[in-house]
Amino acid sequence: MSRNVDLLKGRIFTSLTSLAFPIMVTAMIQMAYNLTDMAWIGLVGSQAVTAVGAGGMYVWFSQGVVALAKMGGQVKVAHALGSQKTDEAAEYASASIQMGILFALIYGAITVLGAKPLIGFFGLSDEATVRDGEIYLIVTCGLSIFPFLNSVITGIMTAMGDSKTPLLANLTGLVLNIVLDPLLIFGFGPVKGTGVLGAAAATVMAQAVVTVVFFLSMKKDRLLFHKVKIFHRVSPEHTKAIIRIGFPASVQNMIYTSISMVLTRFVAGFGDTAVAVQRVGSQIESISWMAAEGFGAAINSFIGQNFGAGQYERVKKGYFTASGVMLLWGLICTALLVIFPGPIFGLFIHEADVIGLGIDYLVILGFCQMFMCVELTTVGALSGLGRTLLCSVISIIFTSARIPLAVVLSNTSLGLDGIWWAFTISSIMKGILFFLCFLWVAKGLSKKNLKFINKT
């Protein structure tokens, strides 16, 4: 049975959900990776959580670096496949993988050599926490070759309509991570536990196995990967096309993470424990946004292929179907975070004073989940049309607004909660604006004004 979903024919809801469901499950698996780490590290103590949170910021930042290769490759492969140009799709896939490898090597070298000042940026007060943060950063980012390759290959496979292989690969990695985390963090028998270092090692080893599974699947593929040549020189035209599409998304992601780092520094002003709250809270909140990003990846490929095939009405119907599903998911997540914040947060950190702060985080962020889901779905849709620059401009402007808003609100009686409200307010505004932007772009979506859509 083929792993690839036909995105150009058949019922839209069936085609879209057939592709999206494995991607969403894969996103949930990635979330389970993070939550598994957090649950075990939480048993070590909140200071260990703070260290992982500081180092993990640069793991998050790395996703913005690889986004250039992933997003550009995914969109262009989808366009080429939709136009029945398999050889051209293979060229784009080759260029995307080559970029991913190059970026991983450069990023790994920078983070290993600059670990001390990078962790020092957050202004943490406890020396042991700072040292653990540096260790976590060096191991996870120094070996970023595995997550970079996994990200790029996932994007290419999604563009092909294959979301089942990434699901299988990530599920394999999750099982290994669940086994390795307690073993390497706490030790068992002859294996000595190494705390934060063990958590980092478990993550990297699991990611390496995921990469192996991907390569084994690529060797069996006869739709695209049999034509992909990793060490083949790709034409400058194909490389430039990927950069043109992927660069805005990459810059957007890196700026978004940089803003989060600045805000984390503000959070650290309320104590190292506040950083632990932000780290755990954001991982819990990922049940919403990681699923939305997964659905966004599906709608990206769906729209990319149908746009390449000139099926514009199918593009519009696909977007509204996806938005409706994600709006419902966001409402469910809002209910969970607002109604059950205490029991949920208490699964990961066990100090009573920290749990109280965590409850405030989850309740406040809970109110924006539906808007965040619509935002991420729309970003995927607009990117599938090649409108990555538009997405970047909106995201950068409104995410940057979090900094002055956080400064103002945190200096009121709200204190630390003011920073959380800055997150929520900006997410609500972005969700509404992105939806309106798609309506505007959709008006120009026809064969007569194809150039309008292809400006970027």
Residue-wise pLDDT for 100-150, tens only, equals: 999 999 999 999 999 999 998 888 778 888 898 899 999 999 999 999 999
CA distances in angstroms from 261 to 59, 118, 121, 151, 413, listed in the order given: 12, 10, 9, 22, 23
Distances 407 to 178, 276, 359, 365 between C-alpha atoms, Å: 39, 20, 21, 17
Tell me the mean pLDDT in the region 168-191: 85
pLDDT in tens, 375-408: 989 988 888 887 878 888 888 888 889 889 999 9
- 199 with 41: CB under 8 angstroms? yes
Tens-place pLDDT, residues 31-90: 676 677 777 777 777 778 788 878 888 888 888 889 899 988 888 888 888 778 888 888
Q: How many CB atoms lie within 10 A of CB 226?
A: 11
Instruction: Give the whole-angstrom CA distance, residue 222 versus residue 224.
Output: 6
CB 105 within 8 A of CB 145: yes
Whose structure tokens read 């939806």? Answer: 435
pLDDT at 441: 86
Identify the band that residue 448 occupies on the pLDDT scale cut at 50, 70 and 90.
very low
For residue 10, give the 3-state DSSP assignment.
coil
Domain boundaries, the chain: 12-453
Most confident of 112-126, 141-155, 157-171, 346-360: 141-155
Banded pLDDT at 7 (limits 50, 70, 90): low
Estimate to the nearest angstrom the gap between the alpha carbon of 72 and the chain centroid: 15
Query: Collapsing DSSP states into helix, strand and coil, what is residue 41?
Result: helix
10 sits in the region (left: phi over 0; alpha: psi -120 to 50; else beta) called: left
Alpha-carbon span 242 to 265, nearest angstrom: 34
How does pLDDT run across 263-297, given as a tens digit for each residue? 888 887 887 788 778 878 887 887 787 778 777 87
Are 167 and 22 spatial neighbours (Cβ–Cβ below 8 Å)?
yes
pLDDT tops 70 at residue 236: yes
Average pLDDT, the chain: 83
pTM of the predicted structure, to 2 decimals: 0.70
Query: How far apart, in Å, are the Cα atoms of 12 and each of 7, 164, 303, 391?
Result: 8, 18, 11, 24
Q: How far apart are the first and last CA of the chain?
A: 37
Question: Where do runs of H (alpha helix) occur along 309-348?
Answer: 312-339, 341-345
| pLDDT the model gives residue 33 | 65
- Given a cut of 50, whether residue 449 has pLDDT beyond it is no
Q: How far is CA 46 from the centre of its chain?
A: 25
Long-range Cβ contacts of 402-408 (<8 Å, 24+ apart) = 402/259, 402/263, 402/426, 403/259, 403/262, 403/263, 406/263, 406/266, 407/266
Residue, of 24 and 122, whose pLDDT is higher? 122
Separation CA 145–CA 136 (nearest Å):
16
Is residue 364 over pLDDT 90? yes
Q: How far apart are CA 275 and CA 296, in angstroms?
A: 29
Fill in the amino acid letter for 46.
Answer: S
Read off the pLDDT of residues 404-425 as tens digits, 9 standing for 90 and up. Answer: 999 999 999 999 899 999 999 9
225 near 159, Cβ under 8 Å?
no
Is the pLDDT at 208 greater than 90? The verdict is yes
Q: Quick one: pLDDT at residue 148? A: 94
Count the residues in the chain: 456
Tell me which residue of 305, 291, 358 sits closest to 161, measured CA to CA: 305
Report the run of H or E that residue 192 belongs to, with start and end.
strand 191-192
Please give the pLDDT value at position 301: 77
Q: How far apart are alpha carbons 120 and 108 in whole angstroms?
A: 18
Rounded CA separation 165/179 (Å) = 22
99/235 Cα distance (integer angstroms): 13
Provide the pLDDT for residue 6: 63
Q: State the amino acid at position 173 in one-letter form.
A: G
The SS3 of residue 80 is: helix
Phi-psi region of 191 (alpha: psi -120 to 50; beta: other; left: phi over 0): beta
Question: What is the full DSSP assignment across 215-262?
Answer: HHHHHH--SSGGG--TTSPPPHHHHHHHHHHHHHHHHHHHHHHHHHHH
Question: Which of residues 260 and 68 earns the better pLDDT score?
Answer: 68
Tokens of 107: 């990023």
- Please report the pLDDT score of residue 295 as a whole number: 78
